[in-house]
Structure 1
Amino acid sequence: MLRYFYILVFFVYGIGLQAQSTKKEVLFTVAEEPVYAEEFIRIFNKNLDLVKDESQKDVDSYLKLFINYKLKIKEAQAKGLDTMPTYVRELENYKSQLAKNYLTDTKVTDALVEEAYKRMVTEVKASHILIRIDENASPQDTLQVYNELLKLRERIKKEGFDAVQKEMHNGQTVYAENLGYFSAFKMVYEFENAAYNTKIGDISMPFKTRFGYHIVIVEDERPARGERTVAHIMVANKRDDKLESAATRIQEIYKKIQQGESFETLAKQFSEDKSSAENGGKLAPFSGGQLSSTEFEDIAFSLKEKGDVSKPFESGFGWHIIKLYDKTEVADFKSMKPELEARVKRDTRSQLINTSIVNKLKERYKVAENTAALAYFQSLLNESYYMASWSLPQDFTASKTLVVIDKKTVTYNDFGQYLFKNQRKASAKKPFGVIVNEAYSNFLNAELMQYQEDNLENESEDFANIVTEYRDGLLLFDLMENEIWNASKTDSVALKAYYDANKNNYNWNTRIDADVASSSQKRTIKSVKKMLDAGQNPKAIKEALNTKDQVNVIFTSGIMDMEHQALTSDIAFEKGVSKIYQHNDAFVVANIKAVLPKAPKTYDEAKGQIISDYQVVKEEKWLKDLEQKYPIQVNETVFTKLKANLKSK
């Protein structure tokens, strides 16, 4: 990370003043290698808002900095730093991560994000019937299930859901369930779609998810109720205690709460929900429709203020008392958009994005497919594929062309190796034709996405600029570390010689050896001053004025110069107890035990500053050498026009 931040000033991509008059014009050459005006303008214009050094905002000064930067990059490449394995690996990792922001369909993603938000703010209440069926069921079996659901759909219209539920639900092959309220991301996307696209009071047509075929009955809609964090005390209806009922027990606990006893303590003592009792009854945050008890949920959402406690009430689990800890309403779209976008990309609905991307890539790259070849691959599979022991035959025709993606040829061998590596994922129930077709679809999609990623620098100027900036930033960091920073720190002979030649630059200013007291209360600091005048030390003063529960005075002791944060700028450097000063919204008084006059710093005392100064000198000399090694030729005509263009903006 340090590498990237080091060159932030030079490598921030952004808008540029790319006037047609300077586009692709050579600004200067480094050893006859051109550097274009548009690159300089782009980086200068962005950095103008970032740098505080006014000299870097001057075009002439900035050109010098830019030339120095290009000299360093040239030297790094000459030294082969761009071929080092660590450099190549870090750059490739960065490119791969960055590419994810470009390998997407923004239009489809935005539509899915907006759809998800609309569903997040509206909860649907629904029931459903699911008939389980194997994903690879025959068309005849699939049709049978579909028709069965059509019959159940008609029965529900006439008899009502409850009657059909009692007869049909077996919890194995048929599920007839009341789902309560739910919103986006709580169900698989196909189910969510069916629920939100069915009107209140209607029954959907049969539809498929990975679990089987469903029909969904939509009963109600309501605005989403946000999220709540509560604690509860529960007394189960089925209790070992035969002497008192659950209702009596919960009322006794409620009276204790009304008497002012701690809810959390009572939960630890008496709540029969063992999973939450030890934590004072506190539950994980939940949103509408997330709990299996609508009674519990309704009471929780009815509490208005943090700390409110409900009256005792009964649910299917027993009797409860709830305390509200926190409430969060559904945020606005702008606030939620980043989170929703991330969830959309993790959710199964992301397949819609991928499908859109793949279709566009097929059109962009004019993909030429040899789908007839899939029959050949199907003929190669045998039973060993299901057991992950299959291999390509010796007479496999590896070199034939399977697909052409723009300028890339994909061979039989490429797909054959893909089949070989993915055989562990094969289901014994899937026919070989299905296995090959699904594998080919996934393989082609992956190839298209990889081809786009490999060519992003050619297709996206924005991506190319960022990668160039990062690539050069890594090189610059490695070069500076090797040539300047490390060398300056380890060359003790050169550092000592530099110190000896420049001793007059390293001096201590006048300093004091002092104990400085600080307090927010003036009366306290007055007491401190009296005690200091009486000769008491900081330890005794702190013991007298501070208590176990309250700190009234803090001391800072040691050698300090005028810049020390504990000192006010107008304090007099005179031996003895000072007057009281107001400083940083507090009051201070100092006991100055000694005044230390200006004095030269030893080598060890000044070493940090010596290293920093020596690095500057060393870099200046090194840059002069680089200018000799890689001659610079500035195109003054282009630079004059560039300056005029920048100053007019």
Structure 2
Amino acid sequence: EAAKEQGLDQRQSYLTDFAKYQEQLSRNYVYEDNVTAQMVEQAYKRSKESLKTSHILILCNWDATPQDTLVAYNKAKELRQMVLNTPDNFNDIAAKYLEEPKADESRGSLDHFTVFEMVYPYESVAYNLKVGEISDLVRTQFGYHIVKLEDRRPVLPKRTVSHIMIGTRFDSLDTAKDRIMEISGLLEKGVAFEDLAKQYSDDKNTGINGGLMRPFTKGDLKAPPFEDAAFALTQKGQISAPVQTRFGWHIIRLEDMGKSPTFEDEEERLTKMVKLGDRAKIVTTAVSQKIKEELGFQAYPYKSSFMAVLNDSVFNRKWRFVPFENKENRLLFTIGTKTYFYNDFGAYLE
């Protein structure tokens, strides 16, 4: 307020600097929007395909010491060379060396996945592989991965079906089969599907709605026999023969074949996911790098000595800086023609 009363906000020098600041800020926002838009478009394209991969993981989180990180890296590097020499033995090697629970059972094989269902570095590498190709080492928050692309297939439009399920949790497999066959016979006699679902289905969540399920595509339910039977139906109202899954026996009716969403349909949802997920870090890094380039930022390799004098008190503004002496006061970074030494930055932080 005092500055305004003195008219400082009307000075030409202030107005010029403020205009430059506004222009710089607007350019950064535009650039951020452009990067976000590119990642949304990438996500949409990837959503059209589902991938199946195998991997070998050597655990090493971000907090690991440099020594432990190097050990993990070298181990992963050796394993990658091993699988490159004998690519047909990838899953045998994974079963022996993969560092995750039940590795001997999974043998490194993962379920099909699509966009946003894996951490971004893993997803990006997988989508850029050809079927049968083995990746270089992939670093994530879990450690070092070696990825092999096993299969890629188009993501089919989500279908809506209703089903009647007779589970095997309480009945034997034979009893459940007898019951589903009885229900199949009632359907052939003209009894309404909805009525039978409400009365007999062991899936109570859908039974109360006449067996109606949420839309899904292949891979969503993790029940291949059910999904295959549902996607084999070709006409609305068509009813399948009884189908056995690990949950029990099912009869499926097709309600809607669905349509593939357009980019416009998905743009808002994908934009939110890009901004909330680990892709947001990619956007922030790209914008930061752009700003550094425009300002002529250059860092020097002496940061470690300065970081050694910092502690947690800097976060609550209780840290006190002791200036470096002469030769110890090294150059930390430059911005354009301006240079900043340890003592400059230390005084700023304090």
Q: 1:364 aligns with which of 280, 294, 319?
A: 294
CA distance, structure 2, for counterparts of residue 135 and residue 198 of structure 1:
25
2:114 aligned residue: 183
Q: CA deviation at 1:312?
A: 0.9
With over 3 angstroms needed to count, the CA separation of the structure-2 counterparts of 1:265 and 1:144, relative to structure 1, is farther
Pick aligned residue for 2:51 from 112, 118, 124: 124
Q: 1:232 is matched with which residue?
A: 163
Larger Rg: 1
Which residue pairs with 1:211 in the alignment? 142
Correspondences of 1:305-324 after superposition (within 5 Å): 305-324=235-254
How far apart are residue 202 of structure 1 and its match? 2.5
Could you tell me whether the CA contact under 8 Å between 1:156 and 1:164 is conserved in 2?
A: no
SS at match of 1:234: strand
Give me the CA root mean square deviation.
3.9
Q: What are the superposed Cα offsets for residues 61-100 of structure 1, whole Å, 9 maximum, x if unpaired?
A: xxxxxxxxxxxxxxxxxxxxxxxxxxxxxxxxxx9xx979
Structure-2 separation of matches of 1:129 and 1:355? 28
Letter paired with 2:149: V
Superposed counterparts of 1:250-261, under 5 Å? 250-261=180-191
Aligned pair partner of 2:321 in 389, 396, 409: 396
Task: State the Cα distance separating 1:313 from its structure 2 match.
Answer: 0.8
Cα-to-partner distance string for 1:316-345 (whole Å, 9 max, x where unaligned): 222111223333322333544444334333
| Aligned residue number for residue 220 of structure 1 | 151
Please tell me whether the aligned partners of residues 132 and 173 of structure 1 are also in contact (alpha carbons under 8 angstroms): no
Q: Which residue of 1 aligns with 2:200?
A: 270
Aligned-pair CA distance for 1:152? 6.0
User: Do the aligned residues in 1 keep the contact of 2:239 with 2:251 (CA within 8 Å)?
Assistant: yes
Q: Contact 1:226–1:330 at 8 Å: present in 2 too?
A: yes
Question: What corresponds to 2:217 in structure 1?
Answer: 287
* Contact in 1 for aligned 2:160/2:213 (Cα 8 Å): yes
CA distance in 2: counterparts of 1:295 and 1:155, whole angstroms: 36
In the alignment, which residue of structure 2 is the partner of 1:199?
130
Partner Cα separation in structure 1 for residue 293 and residue 117 of structure 2: 35
Identity %, equivalent residues: 34
Measured in 1, the distance between the counterparts of 2:301 and 2:85 equals 46
How far apart are the structure 2 equivalents of 1:229 and 1:184? 22
Shift of the alpha carbon at 1:193? 1.6
8 A contact 2:164–2:200 mirrored in 1? yes
Contact 2:302/2:332 (8 A) holds in 1: no
1:458-607 to 2 correspondences below 5 Å: none
What does residue 41 of structure 2 align with?
A: 114
**Alpha carbons of 1:154 and 1:319: their partners in 2 closer, same or farther (altered >3 Å)?**
farther
Aligned to 2:233: 303
Corresponding residue of 1:332: 262
- The amino acid of 1:122's aligned partner reads E
Q: Could you give the per-residue CA deviations for residues 488-538 of structure 1, whole angstroms, max 9, x where no partner exists?
A: xxxxxxxxxxxxxxxxxxxxxxxxxxxxxxxxxxxxxxxxxxxxxxxxxxx
Q: Which runs of 5+ in 1 are unaligned?
A: 1-94, 417-649
| More divergent stretch after superposition (175-184 vs 152-161) | 152-161
Question: How much does 1:299 deviate?
Answer: 1.8
What is aligned with 2:7?
none
Tell me which amino acid in the other structure corresponds to 1:214.
H
- CA-CA distance at 1:151 after TM superposition: 5.9
- CA shift, 1:213, in A, is 2.4
Distance 1:173 1:208 in 2: 22
- Specify the code of the residue in structure 2 equivalent to 1:193: S
CA offset digits 1:102-129 (Å, max 9, x no partner): 3544554443333323222222233333
Residue type matched to 1:189 in 2? Y
TM-superposed deviation, 1:214:
2.2
- What's the offset of the Cα at 1:297? 1.6
Q: Secondary structure at the match of 1:179?
A: coil
SS at match of 2:63: coil
- In the alignment, the residues of structure 2 paired with residue 337 and residue 370 of structure 1 have an alpha-carbon distance, to the nearest angstrom, of 41
Name the counterpart of 2:326.
Answer: none
Residue by residue over 1:270-328, the C-alpha shift from the partner in whole angstroms, topping out at 9 and shown as x without a partner, is: 22234443444333332332221122222222223333322211122221112233333
Q: TM-score, normalised by structure 1?
A: 0.41
Q: CA deviation at 1:146?
A: 0.7
Off by >4 Å, runs of 4+ in structure 1: 98-101, 163-171, 368-374, 388-394, 400-407, 413-416
| Deviation (angstroms), 1:164 | 5.0
Contact 1:153–1:215 (CA under 8 A) maintained in structure 2:
no
* Superposition deviation, residue 372 in structure 1: 4.2
Q: How far 1:215 moved relative to its partner? A: 2.5
CA contact (8 A) 1:402 1:412 kept: no
How far 1:225 sits from its partner (Å)? 0.2
Distance in 2, matches of 1:361 and 1:145, equals 38
Q: Is the 8 Å Cα contact of residues 104 and 354 (structure 1) preserved in structure 2? A: no
* Deviation of the 1:182 alpha carbon: 2.6
1:62-77 counterparts in 2 under 5 A?
none
Gaps of 5+ in 2: 1-21, 324-328
**Secondary structure in 1 matching 2:109:** strand
Q: Which residue of 1 aligns with 2:15?
A: none
Asked whether the 8 Å contact 2:164–2:201 carries over to 1, the reply is: yes
CA deviations over 1:234-289 (Å, ceiling 9, x no partner)? 223343469x5222111112222233333333223322234443444333332332
Deviation of 1:177 (Å)? 4.3
TM-score by length of 2: 0.71
Cα pair 2:52 2:111 within 8 Å, conserved? yes
